[in-house]
Chains A and B, each alone.
Chain A
Amino acid sequence: MGIQATYLGMPLHIDDLDVENLAYFKHCAAHDFHLQKCSACGLLRYPPTTACPWCMSPKSQWVPVDARGAVHSYTEVHHAIQPAFKAHSPYLVLLVDLDTQKGKPTQHEALRVMGNLTTPEGKLAPPDMVKKVGIGTRVRMVFADAGPGIAIPHWTIDEGAKQPDRPWRYPQE
């Protein structure tokens, strides 16, 4: 069965044929991050796909993944397009390298997982928090509930991790 939900004013829809996204977001709804692990070569992959990008095997299992990492790059959006984001601008869109499988199978590859910077409760981060985060900031995953069977994974500052002295930020504030 498919999923319909509303998140920050946006209608979300997962078709009942889209079994990969249904599985991905079902785990998110339980606040438990899972990725597909290839049954043939054993590599994890993101986002959900229908076969393994490294060995073409269609078989995989959903396995729990430790969702911690460091910001690889980001954009800070000042001109929001979706109406519900305007109240939270500027907001950060983060591209995060998971520690899990970083540098595999080749040096510059990583599981780079998208998300907004949010509070630990999954609300879009306030301006003073936005200013603290840049490339290198250590983050951990949190979830924003969107409805039955779906939550949106996000990132918040990992309070328990050793942070870089100065994360790299765009030079013009």
Chain B
Amino acid sequence: MPMPTETDATSPKHLRDKYAIVGVGETTYTRGSGMTTRALGTWAVRNAIEDAGLKASDVDGMLSYQSGDSTFSTFIAGDLGLRLNFYMDVFGGGSSTEALVGMAMGLIEAGMCKTVAIFRAMNGFSQVRIGGTGARAAAPVSGDMLHMRAYGWQSAGQMFSPTFMRHMHDYGTRPEQVAAVKAIHSEHASNNPKAFYKKRFTVDEVLASRIICKPLHLLDCCVETDNGTALIVTSADRARDCRHPRTLIRGVVGRCSKPRTDMHYQHGPISTVAGHYARDILWPNAGVGPEDIDATGSYDAFTFTTMLQLEDYGFCKKGEGGNYVSDGTIRLGGRRPNNTSGGHLCEGYTHGLNMVIENVRQLRHDADDSCPMGADGKRQHTYDYREGGCRQVKKCELTANLGWANPGTGSAMVMRRD
């Protein structure tokens, strides 16, 4: 594809288009997997290797992320018979996916390994609940948590809400604007046979659902699910031998933060999130700008997180996020659909990895919807986005994933179709 005119790029760009995501794999998005995280991770990595058309012996690197709730690379590699030249399991949830893709590029560039599997395996509903209930709520309160959990301020929704509220205060953002994110993602999920929640919701239904913690209604919050998800990263040259059209990585920014990572609220404006800083790395590295992007994957732990990131990465003017997410732009058929799988609000919760999987499929022009298979074994996309129909974005050439850890930290990645 012809690329847009290069923007001013002061950052190193020699890795632009030199690495690719060649395989994606996942397990069923479910509640009650009936499997260990070790089994979930094994299935997801196996599926990703097979999707890439690779053999076990082709994969010699492994990265994963978790927060004391999952298995380790050693067991997945052992179970699948991979001999690794590099592996590492890092601590982290949201925003880890894009950051680890960047690390995989660096590892391969440094000659430490050739092809890297990245996985996240979690029983986020049936074992360690991400909402902060269960085991996490029962642990003694100590250290930095003395200034948080002692106030009944511990779940992600509770912790992020001062940012969401202040955005409404500062910019007049309205509840119904933000609720549109759930309504639109639920439309997308209704065209995704593997989504955990396929039901379509209206803005009114979101606003009528019970308040969890203001400004969040139940339906402003993502689902908790059990699932394993995986990606395979390798060089653009090796990617030529893989099964699918190449998905090239244009640029990555990883775990970019606002000041005061110990407690980001000390440094305002608190209605601004880490994307405000990350965009100055992402766009110059990628050599494109937000206006060039065909589809986004803006992390939807909550409806608000999608909006805040799209705004601070520059998809609209600061303060106009409420309008951007409710005017039809982010809907399938709109100018720039977001989370076409239904995302964390509907498809399932994987700390961001499934949103990268979705954009890889979009760039392959192979979204796994219910469109009929052609004689060539490829889906014949209808671009009819009514319920139960197509979810492939027309002419999808460039995507951006915006990963969220919290208001103070985020990661992002731009990918393109070859």
Residue B238 lies at the interface, judged by CB distance under 8 Å to chain A: no
B259 to A, closest residue via Cβ: A53
Chain B binding surface, main DSSP class: mixed
B-contact bits for A59-97, CB 8 A (1 contact / 0 none): 000000000000011111111111001000011010100
- Shortest A57–chain B CB gap in Å is 16
The distance in angstroms between the C-alpha atoms of A53 and B258, with both chains bound, is: 13
Residue tally, chain A, CB below 8 Å to B: 46
Given A14-B146, A81-B133, check contact A75 B165 (CB 8 Å).
yes
Residue B115 lies at the interface, judged by CB distance under 8 Å to chain A: no
Residue A15 lies at the interface, judged by CB distance under 8 Å to chain B: yes
- Shortest A47–chain B CB gap in Å is 5
The distance in angstroms between the C-alpha atoms of A11 and B148, with both chains bound, is: 14
Given A79-B213, A171-B175, check contact A110 B266 (CB 8 Å).
yes
**Chain B contacts for A13, CB-based, 8 A:** 140-142
A91 to B, closest residue via Cβ: B152
> Per a CB cutoff under 8 Å, which of B152, B165, B169, B213 touches A116?
B152
Residue tally, chain B, CB below 8 Å to A: 46
Given A79-B213, A91-B152, A114-B148, check contact A46 B266 (CB 8 Å).
yes
Q: Let me know if B142 and A15 touch, CB within 8 A.
A: yes
A-contact bits for B121-160, CB 8 A (1 contact / 0 none): 0000000000111000100111110111111111100100
**Chain A contacts for B131, CB-based, 8 A:** 81
Residue B265 lies at the interface, judged by CB distance under 8 Å to chain A: yes
Q: Let me know if A25 and B266 touch, CB within 8 A.
A: no
Residue A129 lies at the interface, judged by CB distance under 8 Å to chain B: no
A10 to B, closest residue via Cβ: B141
The distance in angstroms between the C-alpha atoms of A91 and B158, with both chains bound, is: 11
Residue A122 lies at the interface, judged by CB distance under 8 Å to chain B: no
Given A75-B213, A85-B152, A171-B175, check contact A12 B266 (CB 8 Å).
no
Residue B106 lies at the interface, judged by CB distance under 8 Å to chain A: no
Q: Let me know if A12 and B213 touch, CB within 8 A.
A: no
Q: Let me know if A93 and B152 touch, CB within 8 A.
A: yes
**Chain B contacts for A85, CB-based, 8 A:** 152
B157 to A, closest residue via Cβ: A75
Residue B386 lies at the interface, judged by CB distance under 8 Å to chain A: no
Residue B372 lies at the interface, judged by CB distance under 8 Å to chain A: no
The distance in angstroms between the C-alpha atoms of A19 and B211, with both chains bound, is: 39
The distance in angstroms between the C-alpha atoms of A94 and B81, with both chains bound, is: 52
> Per a CB cutoff under 8 Å, which of B153, B175, B210 touches A78?
B210
**Chain A contacts for B155, CB-based, 8 A:** 81
Top 7 nearest A-B pairs (CB, nearest first) are A108-B268, A75-B161, A73-B162, A76-B214, A73-B166, A13-B142, A85-B152
List the interface of chain A (C-beta within 8 A of B): 7-8, 10-15, 18, 21, 25, 45-47, 49, 53, 72-82, 85, 90-91, 93, 95, 108-112, 114-116, 135, 152, 168, 170-172
Report 24 cross-chain contacts, Cβ distance below 8 Å, ordered by A residue: A10-B141, A13-B140, A14-B146, A15-B142, A18-B142, A21-B146, A46-B266, A47-B144, A47-B263, A53-B262, A73-B270, A75-B215, A77-B212, A78-B212, A79-B213, A81-B132, A81-B154, A82-B149, A93-B162, A111-B266, A112-B263, A115-B151, A135-B169, A152-B151
